[in-house]
């Protein structure tokens, strides 16, 4: 069901991109929109992981420096039939973690110093399983594609509004009664719709990573406890994580709990994620 929801949201996001391109310049506009998406996705595919690690200040860590982390990641990666990812530590007291990759063979997992200090072994295992689930499910690639398409929509809408001010745009729209006004309204509303669809995709992938991470471990309780700790400490300890990278984290630093904040957040409310984990039924092999 979560895969179907993500597919639906990605399809809707692509349709918004094509509609914006059509409003901006007819068939040529649609071609430009697709070119934006292709180029943006190529850049995201090859460089998003490096940008995320660099912007967060993550440093590579060896087995000798952090044997506890290596043991947990090796055990969980083997269980999930994944290659061993590269491991990084972020010099930050606020507990958090994220995974980034373009495919499982080029994956990296980064944890903060605060996470390693605050989590017990069961909680750390739950966090790592969640992050490896993102890798196995290609969630980082899906989120990068969604963000790139949303960015292309916003850019095209900006160009479309600029063209409308100076009297340029699709002659077909201008020939239809009310077509110009409709196009302008759509160019204003499309970026909002694109952002909401992108955020919806991100939230669905977080729920899916929670579920598959709990199944990877065989029980949800370590991850539940980790999420509870993360929620408490990320409200107390300032984070220097940049906005673009915080969207990758297991919990978003300083995330609010209001309905409006949830609607415009890359992450579902922690209480909803914990409730979903509590409701899970994990069948152990006999």
* Contact status, residue 14 vs residue 20, Cβ threshold 8 Å: no
131 tagged catalytic: yes
Give dist(CA 145, CA 137) in Å, integer. Answer: 14
Given 92, 123, 125, 131, which residue is catalytic?
A: 131
- Paired tokens of 176: 């239809």
Residues labelled catalytic:
131
């Amino acid at each position: 069901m979560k895969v179907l929801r993500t597919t639906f949201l990605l399809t809707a996001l692509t349709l918004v991109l094509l509609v914006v391109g059509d409003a901006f310049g007819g068939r040529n506009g649609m071609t430009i929109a697709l070119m934006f998406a292709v180029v943006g996705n190529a850049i995201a595919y090859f460089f998003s992981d490096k940008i995320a690690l660099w912007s967060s200040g993550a440093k590579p860590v060896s087995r000798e420096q952090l044997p506890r982390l290596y043991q947990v990641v090796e055990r969980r990666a083997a269980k999930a039939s994944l290659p061993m990812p590269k491991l990084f530590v972020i010099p930050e007291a606020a507990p958090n973690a994220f995974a980034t990759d373009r495919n499982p063979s080029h994956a990296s997992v980064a944890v903060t110093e605060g996470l390693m200090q605050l989590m017990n072994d069961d909680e750390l295992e739950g966090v790592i399983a969640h992050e490896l689930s993102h890798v196995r499910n290609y969630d980082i690639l899906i989120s990068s594609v969604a963000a790139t398409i949303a960015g292309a929509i916003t850019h095209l809408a900006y160009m479309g509004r600029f063209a409308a001010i100076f009297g340029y745009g699709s002659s077909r729209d201008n020939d239809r009664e009310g077509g110009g006004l409709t196009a302008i309204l759509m160019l204003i509303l499309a970026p909002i719709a694109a952002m909401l669809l992108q955020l919806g995709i991100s939230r669905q992938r977080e729920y899916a990573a929670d579920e598959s991470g709990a199944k990877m471990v065989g029980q949800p309780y370590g991850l539940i406890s980790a999420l509870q700790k993360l929620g408490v400490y990320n409200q107390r300890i300032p984070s220097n994580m940049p906005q673009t990278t915080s969207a990758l984290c297991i919990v978003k630093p300083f995330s609010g709990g209001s309905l409006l904040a949830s609607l415009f957040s890359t992450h579902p409310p922690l209480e909803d994620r914990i409730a979903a984990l509590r409701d899970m039924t994990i069948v152990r092999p006999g």
